[in-house]
Amino acid sequence: MRIVLDTNVLLAALPKVSRFRPIIDALAKGNIELVVSTAILLEYEEILTRKTNALVANNFLEFLLKQPGVVRTDTPFTWGIIEIDIDDNKFVDAGLMGSADYIITYDSHFEAVKQRPFPGIAVVTPDELLDMLT
């Protein structure tokens, strides 16, 4: 299973006591693949630095990039599917270019993806992903 993680889901999954921690564990065990682009990695770094500190952010990104299940993709084309918050398009673009099966998010802006016959990428909540992982 190949996924894209919205930044808020990533943040929620990081604490060891989080109910979403199995997402990080599944990545570390090689049970899922995570699609990232440079834009996504930069957002992860920015938000992790803001919420924690630069050392924690750098350590996590280093861990992330060493995982064999992390798929880096270029996004030379912007689909522009999400108009409400165009910054969210980086997740859709990476998912499409990286052949992801799912975008994992609680963000309602991704309803725009669900409402179109194209692209062929599903948007699911972290809870739905956890159900798929069990």
Domain boundaries defined on the chain: 2-133
User: Looking up tokens 């699609």, which residue turns up?
Assistant: 35
Using alpha carbons, select from 120, 112, 122, 107 the residue that is nearest to residue 43.
107
Least confident of 12-26, 36-50, 69-83, 86-100: 69-83
Query: 75 with 94: CB under 8 angstroms?
Result: yes
pLDDT band at 119 (very low <50, low <70, confident <90, very high): low
Interval 10-28: pLDDT, tens: 999 999 999 999 999 999 9
Q: What's the mean pLDDT in 52-68? A: 95
Indicate the burial class of 83 (C-beta count within 10 angstroms; 0-12, 13-18, 19 or more). exposed
* CA dist 55 → 44, 50, 52, 77, 95 (Å): 13, 11, 8, 32, 28
Neighbours of 54 (CB within 10 A): 11
User: Rounded CA gap, 108 and 112, in Å?
Assistant: 8
| Residue 76 burial class via C-beta count within 10 angstroms: exposed 0-12, middle 13-18, buried 19 and up | exposed
Q: Which CATH code of 3.40.50.1010, 3.90.550.10, 3.40.366.10, 3.30.70.660 fits the domain covering 2-133?
A: 3.40.50.1010
SS3 47: helix
